[in-house]
Amino acid sequence: MTPTPAAAERTRTPSATRASTMKAVVKATRGPGAEIREVPVPTAGPGELLLRVLRAGVCGTDLHIYAWDRWSEGRMHPPVTLGHEFVGEIVERGAQVTQFELGERVSCESHVICNVCLACRTGNGHVCENTRILGVDLNGGFAEYVAVPASNAWRAPANVPLEVAGVMEPLGNAVHTAFSGPLSACSIAVTGCGPIGLFAIGVARAAGATCVIASDVSPYRLDLARRMQADVVIDVSRENFVERVKAATGGHGVDGVLEMSGNPDAMRDGLSALRMGGRLSLLGLPKEPFDLDWNRLLIFKGITLHGIIGRRMYETWYQMDQLLRSGRLDIRPAITHVMPMEKFEEAIALLQSGNAGKVVLVPWGAEG
Amino acid sequence: MTPTPAAAERTRTPSATRASTMKAVVKATRGPGAEIREVPVPTAGPGELLLRVLRAGVCGTDLHIYAWDRWSEGRMHPPVTLGHEFVGEIVERGAQVTQFELGERVSCESHVICNVCLACRTGNGHVCENTRILGVDLNGGFAEYVAVPASNAWRAPANVPLEVAGVMEPLGNAVHTAFSGPLSACSIAVTGCGPIGLFAIGVARAAGATCVIASDVSPYRLDLARRMQADVVIDVSRENFVERVKAATGGHGVDGVLEMSGNPDAMRDGLSALRMGGRLSLLGLPKEPFDLDWNRLLIFKGITLHGIIGRRMYETWYQMDQLLRSGRLDIRPAITHVMPMEKFEEAIALLQSGNAGKVVLVPWGAEG
Amino acid sequence: MTPTPAAAERTRTPSATRASTMKAVVKATRGPGAEIREVPVPTAGPGELLLRVLRAGVCGTDLHIYAWDRWSEGRMHPPVTLGHEFVGEIVERGAQVTQFELGERVSCESHVICNVCLACRTGNGHVCENTRILGVDLNGGFAEYVAVPASNAWRAPANVPLEVAGVMEPLGNAVHTAFSGPLSACSIAVTGCGPIGLFAIGVARAAGATCVIASDVSPYRLDLARRMQADVVIDVSRENFVERVKAATGGHGVDGVLEMSGNPDAMRDGLSALRMGGRLSLLGLPKEPFDLDWNRLLIFKGITLHGIIGRRMYETWYQMDQLLRSGRLDIRPAITHVMPMEKFEEAIALLQSGNAGKVVLVPWGAEG
Amino acid sequence: MTPTPAAAERTRTPSATRASTMKAVVKATRGPGAEIREVPVPTAGPGELLLRVLRAGVCGTDLHIYAWDRWSEGRMHPPVTLGHEFVGEIVERGAQVTQFELGERVSCESHVICNVCLACRTGNGHVCENTRILGVDLNGGFAEYVAVPASNAWRAPANVPLEVAGVMEPLGNAVHTAFSGPLSACSIAVTGCGPIGLFAIGVARAAGATCVIASDVSPYRLDLARRMQADVVIDVSRENFVERVKAATGGHGVDGVLEMSGNPDAMRDGLSALRMGGRLSLLGLPKEPFDLDWNRLLIFKGITLHGIIGRRMYETWYQMDQLLRSGRLDIRPAITHVMPMEKFEEAIALLQSGNAGKVVLVPWGAEG
């Protein structure tokens, strides 16, 4: 597949006019905070694409990095440009890249994997032993431009708005979690209505769940859950989760639980609310170890529990693509804010307040 | 679970007032036709239920029995009351039946299985080696009353209309076929838009397929396919199936095919239209053996092919229950005629004409 | 299938000569201990078989019942004849039983299930909501005779010795645990070498595991593990489990862990020793709730965890039958003691000492 | 991973002393035959390895190419060096290759895939839409040296002899076919005892099948089947396949069939011999389309049929690695001839005679 003359034309033009530096949100030093800096525009190495970033999502992980928590301290090596959720337009193709054209819009998988470890070679690249993450280990997408391996790019469905294409990475977490067990004709509970939980409500519905139950403690988030069309919404600060789930499922319990909160009680309640032989898929990261009554909650009920991380590469993207392209899935109610990347600090504050779903940033010059 | 006084009351009353004979559509002799006769009302043996039939569906198999084709001749032992799709109200419970109450409405699995063969004991009762079928090997539901094993009864969802509850058996064929492979976020083609094909369109949609393609040669049936909300409808008498499927799936082909026609070309086209690694589930019964280019259509593409019969007992019923109870699935557009059982011959003629979807019969006195 | 005259003859004879009472090991009162008593010989009700017990296994659960721990106190209603693992000869068939002949030897599933709850109807009878267990809720097999539902009987493979046929119930636990995930060409670790762990070593090997690793702290049990042909045996009181497993698996970790000990550290070590994307199947019952570093051990590694109870009814029995019948599986090294049922107290003491694998009892008069 | 000085040393030395041309078996022109020629030694491009070939297997496909059948005529573009099954020693590493060391012995996947089509991106690289095959579309291993993508190389288990490492590609076909359905505790029939069928007997046994049945018409091949330890061997020229299979499986039929012959009757017999709900995996390529009684053989029995091609990349290789490394699988009885590559014509004649299992060639200078 060679670029058409028109496409080649487009290549040349931006390349010629592109400035040598750009603005980016950079974790500059080993400590709290992040700053907007002028940094060099990257180039597309062999097998890479250079993207002009159009939209980028802010993630809970970005809050941890901003706060410089223990995990960040142990993992990161500043300076690093932040941002692991984004969509961009291809402005340059490195050597050996033939599967994309200049000008195409692609969303990106954030895990850059080794392709040679056992996990990678046996279809489990999402748990690659040598993963490096864009915006954490490698420069990310909170910038005007970002360079990514072409193998990490996925053509954005033409029908979805840019802010949706910009958050396919976390949407993929929701898809991966939901699709790790049966969904069709199933009752599914989503515990925790942060952005990925909210996405999961929509995913479960679009993927054929016949009853989607959502729980949280925040009235703001429960309202978003309703707007994502959860069939049952439970405020666990006031209501008994297990009783309400049983009532909604003919007394049997749910077929599956998608645990998105990392909260020990949510997980225990989720297991209690499962029907015999059900499954719980665990994406939410607990802050610390916690105990479980294994016999009663798991063994005697014949439960299957899935630990979930990342996205299957790229089965999850194919599923997500079909959900979005068909129009069956609409996650816009969960995207509550779209704001200039320049206001990155404001986005952080907003997320810290809890009164936001997904927040999407628009880089400098990408407002169109 | 013991009957409440009220329920016990209800038992006694109908039993006392029930006539000793009833009207039934009976295959009376070894030859074409069937007749409406006065026959004894059955009683509920140990482990059985006696149902007052409320609605009953007419199936293609009933046409074969009516015409007394070779299969019927080899299998049936008249006199037998016809009808293997029906819903009824429980009017009598045999000894050892505690899981149902008098007055409940139940739809029925038609396969009466042995529970002791290897298939039965390993979760494959739908291919029991000793199956007897209601309305074929045992007296069926084209009558005022029918006796069935309580284990074959499934509580009809309260929200579905009687004519829908009356055809859960063939709907279960559609569910079993569809659920024999992935559905969520999949593109699915249904080849053949008879009643079960039409049901399958609705099932695939409700179960999370993101693109449902239907094909047939009859304008009447293609119109019903549209009313069942197929995303793409293909008239294979005028259009190229494979090309249209490819166009609807980004050039890749469909993830799954549900073959409902028994037509050799439909199966070959279905295999051609599958993406690499897809699945074809085969419920339609070919009239006679036919050949296949195995290498090109199946092996080189890494296809999986499922032979489907009956319904998984009772996983399929549980799935169907949730699809109907939730309201996600509405098969009413495929039920084109509801008529008195007295007009059985007319129903047969209607089905033979091809200008009908599912035809449902109302027994004498069950019009309410 | 009707009994041949010879078989009928056999029926009549024992029935005529059978005494009206028999010896049995009975939990007589709500407190520690159990006693050998003379009790009435049961009869085979409708759908039941009366068995002359030939061999019966003693289980850890029997120790709990003997000690009258909290679980026993909450569950049991003495007097109850103990024993839920046994093989017997059919000496009487109740009404409606046609699938067995008098004189056949059958091993028995201990879970008597309801067949009407959702779990039962969807192929998950092993987690039936209304299970009653032979030897716990119903009179069991520590007796000269026992009555069982015919549906719970499984023809014992002719080639296996009686003491093996007598412990197919706990062997089935091992099979169910092992078969809850991939085995063929897999490395499998078994943590805990009690009788079921020892069985699991043999099952994993016979079922195609290419490396079977066993761990325990008891030199006696580790020696039995070696005799069951574990490829690697780890004494976790002296050796680092995770390091040794990694060394035995090319540094990757094992594909699967079968957790048989209920020990928190065994489970944590098992999870640490799994390769990315592996599975842990959990049969061992922890004494109390314990915590886990969910992120590191489960989520980041994409692990699947299965809670296991009972045996799939009856897929597990079919698998076990083929393993035994083929001679691929030989569990005799794990059966360390066969002794008269009269010495029940001695068997209990032996098991409490820890210096026993599986202990099998021979009822009065069944020595042949 | 960078080469140690010692390894780098080794690199340099062979490179310096290596001749610029080598001997190879080349399909030189568009017509029957092949010839031994002096051709340039290839070099390792970016991401590639240069191997000194140690052993290479001759495949049925090589016979088709030699005979220049219609398939070859439609696909090949001579001149091409033949040979798609081989093991070699790494003598040169191209740019970007870090996962292997010089001097390592690797066996090779023959399918060079695109990594960008839908099949490749969703874990189905074995049905890549753009596959190129070594020895067919690209120069292969019937030569002193061959260049391969490093991603196609798999470290040969140290314990297996060179002739076994040389045929891991066709062994992988057997593993892929066998592992496409359940094996543990299953009865498995292998229809067709060519080299891949013979391998499949060993694979099924090592992977936990409890009864392996083999069929063919050639006494020579049936004898090899016995040496591969098939439990039952059926000469279908003299014996009734279905009857013998039923007799060997308690009357139920086999759990799975691995069809390796491409013979229509073998496939029909295989389907007839399956138990209800069994699976047939189809690797053998029929010479032309043939018909099937779909209803009786597939639908009424609820059979699943898998079309198989290539090897899962690289799950199959991981499974094969563990089978070989553990010593559970020994395919040496199926390798009947090891001969100099110089005698290529003799190897072709031998295979055409039918009196050979797998034939392995030793390149010039690789006798050590």
Q: What is the mean pLDDT of residues B354-358?
A: 96
Write the residue in D283, D295, D303 that is nearest to B285 by C-beta.
D295
Residue A5 has pLDDT above 60, yes or no: no
Residue C242: its pLDDT value, please? 98
Residues of C in contact with B315 (CB under 8 A): 122-123
Chain B: touching chains (3 or more CB pairs < 8 Å)? A, C, D
Taking an 8 Å cut-off on Cβ atoms, the answer to whether A315 and D116 are in contact is no
Q: What is the nearest CA distance from B91 to chain C, expressed in angstroms?
A: 20
Work out whether strand C86-93 and strand C48-58 pair parallel, antiparallel, or are unpaired: antiparallel
DSSP string, B81-111: E----EEEEEEEE-TT--S--TT-EEEE--E
Which of D104, D106, D109, D116 should be substituted to probe chain A, the one whose Cβ sees the most A Cβ atoms within 10 Å? Answer: D116
Q: Considering only CA atoms, which of C80, C66, C138 is closest in space to residue C108?
A: C138
Name the burial class of residue D104, with classes exposed (0-12), middle (13-18) and buried (19+) by CB atoms within 10 angstroms of its CB.
Answer: middle
Residue D368: its pLDDT value, please? 74
Any chain D CB within 8 A of the CB of A317?
A: yes
Rounded-to-integer distance, Cα C276 and Cα C252, Å: 8
Any chain D CB within 8 A of the CB of C201?
A: no
Chain C: touching chains (3 or more CB pairs < 8 Å)? A, B, D
Give CA torsion, residues D253, D255, D261, D262, to 10 deg.
90
Write the residue in D115, D116, D118 that is nearest to A318 by C-beta.
D118
Taking an 8 Å cut-off on Cβ atoms, the answer to whether D185 and C323 are in contact is yes
Rg of chain C in Å (alpha carbons): 21
Rounded-to-integer distance, Cα D197 and Cα D283, Å: 10
Which of D255, D263, D275, D304 should be substituted to probe chain B, the one whose Cβ sees the most B Cβ atoms within 10 Å? Answer: D304
Residue B14: its pLDDT value, please? 53
In the block, tokens 């029925």 appear at B108
Per-residue model confidence as pLDDT tens digits over C101-130: 999 999 999 999 999 999 999 999 999 999
Which of D120, D133, D294, D315 should be substituted to probe chain B, the one whose Cβ sees the most B Cβ atoms within 10 Å? Answer: D294
* Helical H segments across B184-310, by residue range: 195-206, 219-227, 241-248, 264-273, 294
Any chain D CB within 8 A of the CB of C326?
A: yes
Rounded-to-integer distance, Cα A160 and Cα C93, Å: 68
In the block, tokens 């399956």 appear at D274
Residue C368 has pLDDT above 90, yes or no: no
* Residue of higher predicted confidence among B19 and B232: B232
Q: What is the mean pLDDT of residues C228-238?
A: 98
Taking an 8 Å cut-off on Cβ atoms, the answer to whether D123 and A318 are in contact is no
Per-residue model confidence as pLDDT tens digits over A309-324: 999 999 999 999 999 9
Per-residue model confidence as pLDDT tens digits over A71-108: 999 999 999 999 999 999 999 999 999 999 999 999 99
Tokens at D320, concatenated: 């094969």
Q: What is the nearest CA distance from C249 to chain A, expressed in angstroms?
A: 12
Catalytic machinery residues of B? 61, 64
Residue B368: its pLDDT value, please? 74
Residue B286: its pLDDT value, please? 97
Q: What is the nearest CA distance from A175 to chain C, expressed in angstroms?
A: 15
Residue A13 has pLDDT above 90, yes or no: no
Write the residue in A129, A298, A309 that is nearest to C307 by C-beta.
A298
Q: What is the nearest CA distance from D277 to chain B, expressed in angstroms?
A: 7
Contact at 8 Å (CB) between C337 and C56? no
Work out whether strand C48-58 and strand C358-362 pair parallel, antiparallel, or are unpaired: antiparallel
Contact at 8 Å (CB) between C56 and C86? yes
Taking an 8 Å cut-off on Cβ atoms, the answer to whether D299 and B285 are in contact is yes
Q: What share of chain A in percent tops pLDDT 90?
A: 94
Write the residue in A183, A187, A211 that is nearest to B184 by C-beta.
A183
Chain C residue closest in CA terms to B315: C122
Any chain A CB within 8 A of the CB of B185?
A: yes
Residues of A in contact with B184 (CB under 8 A): 179, 183-184, 207-208, 319
Any chain D CB within 8 A of the CB of B294?
A: yes
Chain D residue closest in CA terms to A115: D151
Residues of B in contact with D276 (CB under 8 A): 118-119, 124, 127-129
In this structure, the number of other CB atoms found within 10 A of the CB of residue C107 comes to 30
Residues of C in contact with B152 (CB under 8 A): none
Per-residue model confidence as pLDDT tens digits over A251-273: 999 999 999 999 999 999 999 99
Residue C214 has pLDDT above 70, yes or no: yes
Taking an 8 Å cut-off on Cβ atoms, the answer to whether A322 and B185 are in contact is yes
Burial C42-74 (b: 16+ CB within 10 A, else e): bebeebbbbbbbbbbbbbebbebbbebeeebee
In the block, tokens 């010089």 appear at D102
**CA end-to-end span of chain D, whole Å?**
29
Taking an 8 Å cut-off on Cβ atoms, the answer to whether B116 and C123 are in contact is no
Residue C18: its pLDDT value, please? 84
Q: What is the nearest CA distance from B283 to chain C, expressed in angstroms?
A: 22
Beta bridge partners of C39: C22
Model pTM? 0.96
Taking an 8 Å cut-off on Cβ atoms, the answer to whether A305 and C308 are in contact is no
Q: Considering only CA atoms, which of B313, B305, B283 is closest in space to residue B194?
A: B283
Taking an 8 Å cut-off on Cβ atoms, the answer to whether A185 and B325 are in contact is no
Residue D306: its pLDDT value, please? 98
Chain C residue closest in CA terms to A263: C294
Residue A185 has pLDDT above 50, yes or no: yes
Write the residue in B186, B207, B210 that is nearest to A185 by C-beta.
B207
Residue A18: its pLDDT value, please? 84
Which of C114, C173, C276, C308 should be substituted to probe chain A, the one whose Cβ sees the most A Cβ atoms within 10 Å? Answer: C276
Residues of C in contact with D187 (CB under 8 A): 322
Chain D residue closest in CA terms to A312: D122
Identify each DSSP E strand in D123-210 by its residue range: 132-133, 145-149, 153-155, 187-191
Residue C337 has pLDDT above 60, yes or no: yes
Taking an 8 Å cut-off on Cβ atoms, the answer to whether D208 and C206 are in contact is yes
Residue D79: its pLDDT value, please? 97
State the pLDDT confidence band at A368, using cuts at 50, 70 and 90.
confident
Q: What is the mean pLDDT of residues B316-329?
A: 98
Taking an 8 Å cut-off on Cβ atoms, the answer to whether B123 and C121 are in contact is no
Q: What share of chain B in percent tops pLDDT 90?
A: 94
Q: What is the mean pLDDT of residues B344-365?
A: 96
Residue D17: its pLDDT value, please? 75
Contacts of A16 (CB under 8 A, 6+ apart): none
Catalytic machinery residues of C? 61, 64
Residue D4: its pLDDT value, please? 39
Rounded-to-integer distance, Cα B203 and Cα B226, Å: 14
Contacts of A147 (CB under 8 A, 6+ apart): A42, A43, A44, A45, A48, A49, A50, A51, A139
Q: What is the mean pLDDT of residues C210-223?
A: 98
DSSP string, A151-186: GGEEEPPTTS-HHHHTTHHHHHHHHHHHTTS--TT-
Residue D131: its pLDDT value, please? 97
Contact at 8 Å (CB) between B323 and B209? no
Tokens at C267, concatenated: 């489970």
For chain C, the maximum distance between any two Cα atoms, rounded to a whole number of angstroms, is 67
Residue D2: its pLDDT value, please? 35
Residue B267 has pLDDT above 80, yes or no: yes
How wide is the angle at C-alpha C161 spanned by C-alphas C155 and C167, nearest 5°? 65
Q: Considering only CA atoms, which of A35, A360, A305 is closest in space to residue A169?
A: A360
Chain B residue closest in CA terms to D279: B306
The DSSP letter of residue D156 is P
Write the residue in D46, D121, D318 that is nearest to A121 by C-beta.
D318
Contact at 8 Å (CB) between C234 and C214? yes
Q: Is the peptide bond before B170 cis (omega within 30 degrees of 0)?
A: no
Catalytic machinery residues of D? 61, 64
Per-residue pLDDT of chain D (368 residues; tens, 9 = 90+): 333 334 333 344 455 578 999 999 999 999 999 999 999 999 999 999 999 999 999 999 999 999 999 999 999 999 999 999 999 999 999 999 999 999 999 999 999 999 999 999 999 999 999 999 999 999 999 999 999 999 999 999 999 999 999 999 999 999 999 999 999 999 999 999 999 999 999 999 999 999 999 999 999 999 999 999 999 999 999 999 999 999 999 999 999 999 999 999 999 999 999 999 999 999 999 999 999 999 999 999 999 999 999 999 999 999 999 999 999 999 999 999 999 999 999 999 999 999 999 999 999 999 87
State the pLDDT confidence band at C16, using cuts at 50, 70 and 90.
low
Contact at 8 Å (CB) between D24 and D142? yes
Chain A residue closest in CA terms to B319: A185
Residue A15: its pLDDT value, please? 58
Q: What share of chain C in percent tops pLDDT 90?
A: 94
Residue A6 has pLDDT above 70, yes or no: no
